[in-house]
Structure formats: C-alpha cells, structure tokens
A and B are shown apart, each in its own frame.
Chain A
Amino acid sequence: MNLSKEQLLSMYRQMWTIRIFEDEMAVAYMEGKSPAFDIGSGPVPGEMHLAAGQEPVAVGTCMHLHKEDTVVGTHRPHHFAIAKGVNINKLAAEIFGKETGLGKGKGGHMHLFDVEHKFSCSGIVGASFPPACGAALAAKKMGKDWVAVAFAGEGAANQGAFHEALNLAALWKLPMIFIIEDNSWAISVAKQLSTAIPDNSQRAAGYGIPGVRIDENDVLAVYEVVGEAVRRARRGEGPSLIEVKTDRLYGHFQGDPELYRPKDEVPTLKANDPIARLGAQLHEQGIATQSELDDARAAAKADVDAAFLFARQSPYPAPERALEDVFV
C-alpha cells in the first residue's frame, strides 16, 4: 500500500476524532435526560444516531477525496462529515442547535450541509444516491475529474432509489462510488431478514458495474478497494458499488433499548475495535511509536473538546430566525 507514515497517522487520528466526537456526543446527549429519559430534553435533543465503530468506511474512503469531490451521507452522518473535512466546530454547534452551526441550527444532526466541503446528508433512508448521481453528472458535464460518493446503510439497498441510481450511474458512466455500510441492522431488522441475498455488492452485476465486498471493518482494506473505484471514476470509466462490513457500537438511536440485539454482540465487536487494531498494526510494523500514537489520539481529543466548547458557548438563534431561509 502506498501510504506514507503521515497519511497513516492522519487516518489514525481522524478515526479517533470521530470516535471521541461520538462518545462525547453520547454523554452530552444524556444531559438533561435523567431521571426520566425524554428525547426532547437537554442540550442535544431529538434523535441521535452515532457512528462509533463505523470509522473505517468513512476514513478509508475520504482519504482519496479532494475538497471538490462530493460526499452524500446518511442519517448517521458525523463520521462522513468529519472525514470529508467539515469543520467540527460548526458540526458540533449545529448539533447543539446553535446559530454558529452549519445550518444556523435549522438542520440538526441528520441534516448537515457544508457547501464549501461539498458534504450533505439526509434523514431519509436511500436518499443519498440520487443527488450523488447529480453531482457526478455535473462534474462530467463541466469536464472535471471530480467524483461523487454516496454512502448508505445496508437497509437502504432495498430502496427503489438505490436501484434507480445504480442504473442511471451505470447507463451514463457517472464518476460515482456507491458505498454500502453493512452494520447488520436496519434498526431492529437483521440483514438476513430484510435482504434477499447476503452480499449487496453482487447487485452490481445487474447493472454491469464492478461490485466488491469488504468483509472486515478495516480502514486499510477500505482504502485499497475504494482507491481503485475512485481512480476508475476519475478515468471516466463509470461507477462502482462497494459494500463494507462495519460495526454499530451504539443502538440505532441513543435511547434504543436494543431488545432485538444479542447481548454478547457489542462486547464482541468492541474486542475487535478497528482503531485499536490500526494502532497495534502501526506499532508492530515499526511505522509509529507509541508516543506518536498517543499524541495523535490526544490531538484528536483536543480538537473535539474545543469543538464542544465552541458549541456550548455559542448563542442560540433568535426564535424569529425560524422564518428566514425558506428561499434565498
């Protein structure tokens, strides 16, 4: 693999940024929600879908992307946003509902828009694919070598929009990468109870495009496979479909009782933590010293702490600002 030490350490640090962001968000989310849990209470109200455990797919993919490349994420979007380079102060502020947030507090955690870094997401399952097609189409029409990446969960692969977009992207040879995060669960419904075939990447055959399944929650494996797809897209050879096995360490949403989930599942996943594995790998191979790894983690924590402080100290929008921004 052609990754420099700096790149590897950057991936490691970024995964920590995501993990710490999500873990601190889980704690902040619970503020004001006890003794009686009320989803609408506390400094971070509403639904909260956290991506701890799913860092490899976001980081391994976005290492290949430039600012001009488009990423469209899902209802569980923080890891994609951070990996794509969205300012985490503004990200945190949006989630805290503050005026300084990405959308001035109007969008919230599922509806993040960063025009500068060409990142967006949606709370609607399967909604990432069509707009990513459009971004890829625009790049093609404008003669740019930009690519578009649509992320979605494995549950979204059963939406009509997924199949329509695959056909469109293949038909028009769009510079696009479809990436399915397979965390095994569509809320409470296990993949084998919702999907007719075990491997969504096989569905690529129906559209005559390459399909690859990555069976491990490993950032370097993601990096390698997505690299080929991105290069292919930049060469004008069309889209690819990739499914990545990944792990959802939290519930579907914070407060999810997860009665549907086997009790030993999460501990097993935690024992195979993708960040710890990368750290051990870098250390064992003599690529990074323990203190370099520790520094990367500490730097990530400092970034997240600063972002949360910024978010907490920022003002709420004035109520009547609710009436603005329907139209430009």
Chain B
Amino acid sequence: MANERELTMSKAIAEAIDQEMARDHRVFVLGEDVGIYGGIFGATQGLYQKYGAERVMDTPISETAFIGAATGAAAEGMRPIVELMFVDFFGVCMDQIYNHLAKNTYMSGGAARFPVVLTTAIGGGYNDAAQHSQCLYGLFAHVPGLKVVVPSTAYDAKGLMISAIRDDNPVMYFFHKGLMGLGWMKYHQRSVTPVPEEAYTIPLGKADIKRTGKDVTIVSLAMMVHRALDAADALAQEGIEAEVIDLRTLVPLDRETVINSVKKTHRLVVVDEDYHSFGMSGEIAALVAEDALDYLDAPIRRLAVPDVPIPYSRPLEQFVLPSAERIAATARALME
C-alpha cells in the first residue's frame, strides 16, 4: 500500500468503468455530455477517446428515452451504464426508473434481468440551490428493486462501481459532487485515497467502519462521512472516541455493522445530507430501536436537512446542511 498512487473519486470511477469496458464488450455508457466532455463531473473522463462514440454515447436531453433505452438494452443482454446528470433531474424520467427499471424483474417473476448502472450526481454546499443540490438517495432506496450505492472515497468508489457493473440487478450509483476531486469545486481531501491499479470489488451491502471508537456511533454516508470524521477528530481532543460508520450502500443495508457498533458504544447519531423526514436517518434510527433499544444509554439523535428545499444564499444553505461542528456538539451532548 505504501507506494500506491492516489486518485480522486472521479478518476477512480472512470477507471472502474474503463476496466469493465475492456473486460466485457457488453458494457457501454450513455448520457448527457458523457462523451467529449467526459461527464460534467468527470465520471467518464477519457472513455470516449478510448472507446469511441459507439460505446460512449452522448445523448439528447431526453432522459425518459435514454434511461428507458438502458432498461431495454439490458433486457437484451447489454450492460449499460447510464448517467442522470444531477439526481434532481429524476423528475423528468422517474417513471422509467421506478415503474420499470426497478420493478420489471419482480413483475417477470425473476425471469427478466436488468443489469443497468444508473449513475447520478448528488449534494450541495456550493450554492446551486433547490434544483441542483439534493441527495435523494433515500427516495430511491425507498422504492423496492433498486440497489443504492453512495461512496465516500476513491477506493470505495472504484470497488463499488465494479461490483455495480457486474451485478445483474439495477444499481443506482450516487456520487457526491464535493467528493469527486474536480478542479472547479472545492472537495474534501479525505476523498482522495490510494487506489489499486488492478480491478477489485467491494461487495454491495457491506458498511465500512471508517474510524473505530467506543463512546458514540456516528452513521452516515457520502460527504457527511467526512464531516463526521472531522467531528470525531475534534471529539477525540476532548477524550470522546466516536465510531464513524460509512454505510456505502443503502440497498442492501448492512444492519449488522450498525447494530454491533451501537451495542458497543450505546449511543447513536445519524447524519444525513438528505431531508430529515421519511428518509435514511429515520430508517437507521428505526432499525436500532428495533434491534438494539436496550443497549442505548441516550436518545438517538438525527442531523439532516430540516425539511426545506436547499436554499441558494450561502448563510441559508450553510444553516441547513449538517456541519462538523453541529455533529460534534450533538455527539458531545449525548455524553453528558
């Protein structure tokens, strides 16, 4: 590991797709600006130059048509990777995603397979306002039939992408814009990690304990993992050892890792950049209440976007997004 090169998350994702395209001729990419531009967030950088327009297809702004086409091509045995530029744009094509891609396997009694990877950009913090800053992975995790992947580091991103491509089910793969390592957007340095050059997989449904601790469990994913780690660093100065769990996938959900951690620490904070109500934070709180209630020494605490659209203006947006300071304060309060 010592001399291993480091990659940004966008390069790790592009490398994973590249290696799978080289390995499997059925894999192809389609979406808006995925070709010459290399994806607005760099997830398909270099692929057009290597594989050409036949396998890296720029599409019209017609999400219903091209995401539906990915489903149809997958049914024929192809393995499309299709990009929805921002998750916020799901509204123009949701029927093809949730009534078809997500349900067709079930409705066919398991006979039909749809090995589609649907990639999409999530996250705020850079003042892009209500229609370009949401996470919404909770919404897609709510719908049965979609696996949901949300990496927080380059290492995880590559392994999870390769697993997603090889999976015979539809996988929604959410990448946080502020973790991609873009030249034009500030990113969390911790998302840049050593990444092996060879292909490797990380199983879907396996959370990762990003930091071990005995006092309080902080469960999160994507950008909020890094904020939680920042908070844990601050808490450590005060003698509080937080355990930070990166769920990495919401579907399947690694209940066991969460439960085991809470049994050890007896305290739970869930941090989510998605909306507060009816989402990931409630789901994690519920499973702990169901399976580890007796182990809790303090009430479960949730930090999430307080059920308002993401506002544009900086002081408003910073107010609604969970910060490392608020995470630390919340965890600290549980220790008192």
Give the distance in Å from the alpha carbon of A318 to the alpha carbon of B319 in the complex.
Answer: 9
Chain B residues positioned under 8 Å from A208 (CB to CB): none
Chain A residues positioned under 8 Å from B210 (CB to CB): none
> Within 8 Å of chain B (Cβ to Cβ): is A187?
yes
> Within 8 Å of chain A (Cβ to Cβ): is B326?
no
Chain B residues positioned under 8 Å from A106 (CB to CB): 129-130, 309, 311-313, 316
Q: Are B32 and A319 in contact (CB-based, < 8 A)? A: no
Interface readout for B289-329 with A: 1 if CB under 8 Å, 0 if not? 00000000000000000111101111111111000000000
Interface SS of B by simple majority: loop
> Within 8 Å of chain A (Cβ to Cβ): is B278?
no
Chain A residues positioned under 8 Å from B35 (CB to CB): 188-189
Smallest CB gap from B185: residue in A: A39
Give the distance in Å from the alpha carbon of A90 to the alpha carbon of B141 in the complex.
Answer: 40
Q: Are B131 and A110 in contact (CB-based, < 8 A)? A: yes
Chain B residues positioned under 8 Å from A54 (CB to CB): none
Q: Give the number of residues in A that approach B within 8 Å (Cβ atoms).
A: 49
Stretch binding the partner chain, chosen from A158-166, A175-183, A301-309: A158-166
Stretch binding the partner chain, chosen from A55-63, A121-129, A213-221: A121-129
A-B contact count (CB 8 A): 147
Q: Tell me, rounded to whole Å, the shortest Cβ–Cβ distance linking B175 to chain A.
A: 16
Interface readout for A187-200 with B: 1 if CB under 8 Å, 0 if not? 11100011100000
Q: Tell me, rounded to whole Å, the shortest Cβ–Cβ distance linking B281 to chain A.
A: 18
Interface readout for A249-278 with B: 1 if CB under 8 Å, 0 if not? 000000100011000000000000000000
Q: Are A255 and B308 in contact (CB-based, < 8 A)? A: no
Give the distance in Å from the alpha carbon of A110 to the alpha carbon of B133 in the complex.
Answer: 13
Chain B residues positioned under 8 Å from A1 (CB to CB): none
Q: Are B313 and A124 in contact (CB-based, < 8 A)? A: no
Q: Besides the contacts A111-B131, A124-B131, what 4 more A-B pairs have beta carbons closer than 8 Å?
A: A106-B311, A159-B61, A160-B65, A259-B37
Give 23 CB contacts A-B under 8 Å. Answer: A38-B185, A39-B128, A39-B185, A40-B127, A45-B127, A46-B126, A46-B132, A98-B313, A108-B312, A110-B132, A111-B312, A124-B89, A124-B91, A158-B61, A186-B60, A188-B33, A188-B37, A188-B58, A316-B314, A319-B316, A322-B306, A322-B319, A326-B308
